[in-house]
Chain A
Amino acid sequence: MMASSYNAKEEDGHHPGASNNGGPGVVKSKKPDNTAFKQQRLPAWQPILTAGTVLPAFFVIGLIFIPIGIGLYVTSNNIKEYEIDYTGADPGDECYNCSQNFTWNSTTPCVCSVPFTLTQPFESNVFMYYGLSNFYQNHRRYVKSRDDSQLNGDSSALMNPSKECEPYRTSGAQPIAPCGAIANSLFNDTLELYYIDSNGTSNAVPLVKKGIAWWTDKHVKFRNPGGNDNLTIAFQGTSKPVNWRKPVFEMDTDPENNGFINEDFIVWMRTAALPTFRKLYRIIQKKSSSTPTLASGNYVLNITYNYPVRSFDGRKRMILSTISWMGGKNPFLGIAYITVGSICFFLGVVLLIIHHKYDTRNNSADIPG
Chain B
Amino acid sequence: MSFFGVERVRKKERELERKLRANDREFNLPFKYATNGIKTSKYNPFTFLPLNLFEQFQRIANAYFLFLLVLQVIPQISSLSWFTTVVPLVLVLTVTAAKDATDDLNRHRSDNQVNNRKVDVLIDRKLRSEKWMDVQVGDIIKLENNQFVTADLLLLSSSEPLNLVYIETAELDGETNLKVRQALTVTGDLGEDVEKLADFNGEVRCEPPNNRLDRFTGTLTHAGQKYPLDNEKILLRGCTLRNTGWCFGLVLFGGPETKLMQNCGKSTFKRTSIDRLMNVLVLCIFGFLAFMCVILAIGNCLWELKAGSQFTVFLPRQDGNSAGFSAFLTFWSYVIILNTVVPISLYVSVEIIRLGNSFYIDWDRKMYHPRNDTPAEARTTTLNEELGQIKYVFSDKTGTLTQNIMTFNKCSINGKSYGDVFDYAGQRLDITEHTDPVDFSFNPLADPRFVFHDHALVEAVKLENPEVHAFFRLLALCHTVMAEEKKEGELSYQAQSPDEGALVTAARNFGFVFRSRTPDSVSIVEMGEQRRYELLAILDFNNVRKRMSVIVRSPEGKLRLYCKGADTIVYERLHQSCGKLMDVTTEHMNEFAGEGLRTLALAYRDLDQEYFSQWKQRHHEVSTSLDDRDGRLDELYEEIETDLQLLGATAIEDKLQDGVPQTIEQLAKADIKVWVLTGDKQETAENIGYSCNLLREEMNEVFVLSGNSPEDVRRELRNALSSMKPAGDSTVLPDEAVNGEYGLVVNGHSLGYPLERSMELDFLRTACMCKAVICCRVTPLQKAQVVELVEEYKQAVTLAIGDGANDVSMIKAAHIGVGISGQEGMQAVLSSDYSFAQFRFLQRLLLVHGRWSYLRMCKFLRYFFYKNFTFTFVHFWYAFFCGFSAQTVYDEWFITLYNLVYTALPVLGMSLFDQDVNDKWSFQHPELYLPGQLNLYFSKKAFFKCALHSCYSSLVLFFIPYAAMHDTVRADGKDVADYQSFALLTQTCLLFTVTIQLGLEMSYWTAVNTLFVVGSLVMYFAVTFTMYSNGMFLALPSAFPFVGTARNSLNQPNIWLTILLTSILCVLPVVTCRFLFIQLCPTINDKVMLKVRQAKTKDPPLPRRARIRRTSSRRSGYAFSHAQGYGDLVTSGRFLRRPAPSRSSGLAHAGRSTTSFSPMGRSAGYSPTGRPQNAKVQDVEVTSLQMYRSVRDPAL
Residues of chain A at the chain B interface (Cβ within 8 Å)? 1, 3-5, 7, 12-17, 19-20, 29-34, 38-51, 54, 57, 61, 65, 68, 72, 125, 127, 129, 131, 134-143, 145, 147-149, 151-152, 154, 162-163, 166-167, 181, 184-185, 212-217, 220-221, 267, 270-280, 283, 308, 311-313, 321, 323-330, 332-333, 336-337, 340, 343-344, 347, 351, 354-355, 358-359, 361-362, 364, 366-369
Contacts and interface: CB of A to CB of B under 8 A. Distances in A.
Contacts of B1090: 48, 50, 362, 364
B973 A283 contact: yes
A48 B1093 contact: yes
Contacts of B364: 32, 38-40
Nearest to A125: B973
Contacts of B1008: 42
Interface string B953-994: 000000010111111111111111111111100000000000
B857 to A, nearest CB: 15
Contacts of B375: 30-32
A34 to B, nearest CB: 6
Contact of A358 (B360, B969, B1033, B1079): B1079
Contacts of A12: 365-366
B486 interface: no
Given A40-B919, A181-B315, A17 B967 contact: no
B913 A366 contact: no
A43 B81 CA distance: 43
Given A40-B360, A216-B1044, A273-B978, A142 B1054 contact: no
From A40, A137, A369, name the one whose CB has the most chain B CB atoms within 10 angstroms.
A40
Interface string B1004-1022: 1111110000000000000
A328 B1096 contact: no
A220 B1054 contact: no
Contacts of B373: 17, 19-20, 29-31
A271 B978 contact: yes
A216 B981 contact: no
Nearest to A81: B967
B1106 interface: no
Contacts of A29: 370, 373
Nearest to A40: B360
A49 B1071 contact: yes
Nearest to B881: A274
Nearest to B1043: A221
Nearest to B978: A270
B77 to A, nearest CB: 11
Contacts of A358: 1079-1080
Contacts of A142: 314-315, 885
B967 A131 contact: yes
Contact of A280 (B969, B983, B1084): B969
Contacts of B1053: 325-326
Contact of B311 (A136, A333, A336): A136
Nearest to B377: A30
A139 B882 contact: yes
Given A32-B362, A311-B310, A280 B979 contact: no
Contacts, number: 335
B1037 interface: yes
Contact of A38 (B363, B977, B1041): B363
Contacts of A323: 969, 971-973
A46 B1005 contact: yes
Contacts of A275: 881-883
Given A272-B978, A279-B975, A336-B960, A46 B1004 contact: yes
Interface stretch (B232-240, B504-512, B1058-1066): B1058-1066
B627 interface: no
B319 to A, nearest CB: 8
A367 B366 contact: no
Contact of A140 (B370, B882, B1075, B1087): B882
18 contacts: A4-B1096, A15-B433, A31-B373, A57-B1071, A142-B885, A143-B887, A147-B1038, A148-B1041, A152-B1037, A271-B978, A308-B313, A328-B967, A340-B1065, A343-B1068, A354-B1079, A364-B1087, A364-B1088, A368-B927
Contacts of B918: 5, 7, 41
A333 B1052 CA distance: 14
A5 B1006 CA distance: 11
Given A20-B370, A44-B1005, A333 B362 contact: no
A13 B365 contact: yes
A96 to B, nearest CB: 19
A140 B926 contact: no
B1094 A369 contact: no
B703 interface: no
Given A15-B370, A276-B966, A369 B316 contact: no
A28 B991 CA distance: 47
Nearest to A151: B1037
B768 to A, nearest CB: 21
B1038 A43 contact: no
B1071 A54 contact: yes
Nearest to A7: B1099
B370 A16 contact: yes
Size range of the interface on B?
35 or more
Contacts of A47: 1003, 1005
Contacts of B1072: 347, 351
B1076 A277 contact: no
Contacts of A125: 973
A44 B909 CA distance: 13
Contacts of A361: 1079-1080, 1082
Given A15-B370, A32-B375, A364-B1087, A270 B975 contact: yes
B1093 A3 contact: yes
Contact of A355 (B371, B1048, B1079): B1079
Contact of B1076 (A61, A134, A354): A354
Contacts of B314: 135, 142, 181, 184-185, 312
Contacts of A267: 975
A355 B926 CA distance: 28
A149 B1037 contact: yes
A358 B967 CA distance: 47
A362 B1082 contact: yes
B1038 A162 contact: yes
B1152 to A, nearest CB: 37
Interface in B193-217: none
What 10 A-B pairs have minimum CB-CB distances, sorted nearest first? A216-B1044, A273-B982, A17-B370, A364-B1091, A3-B1093, A38-B363, A185-B314, A140-B885, A312-B310, A127-B973
Given A44-B1005, A48-B1093, A181-B314, A327 B365 contact: no
A312 B886 contact: no
Contacts of A216: 1030, 1043-1044, 1047-1048
B1088 A367 contact: yes
Contacts of A136: 307, 311, 315, 882-883, 885
Given A181-B315, A333-B1057, A362-B1079, A369 B669 contact: yes
B435 to A, nearest CB: 15
B967 A276 contact: yes
A221 B1033 contact: yes
B1089 interface: yes
B360 A274 contact: no
Contact of B363 (A32, A140, A162, A279): A32
Interface in B612-629: none
Nearest to B1078: A49
Contacts of B881: 138, 274-275
A355 B971 CA distance: 44
A41 B915 CA distance: 10
A191 B313 CA distance: 22
B1171 interface: no
Contacts of B972: 323
A49 B1092 contact: no
A3 B1089 CA distance: 9
Contacts of B365: 12-13, 31-32, 34, 38-39
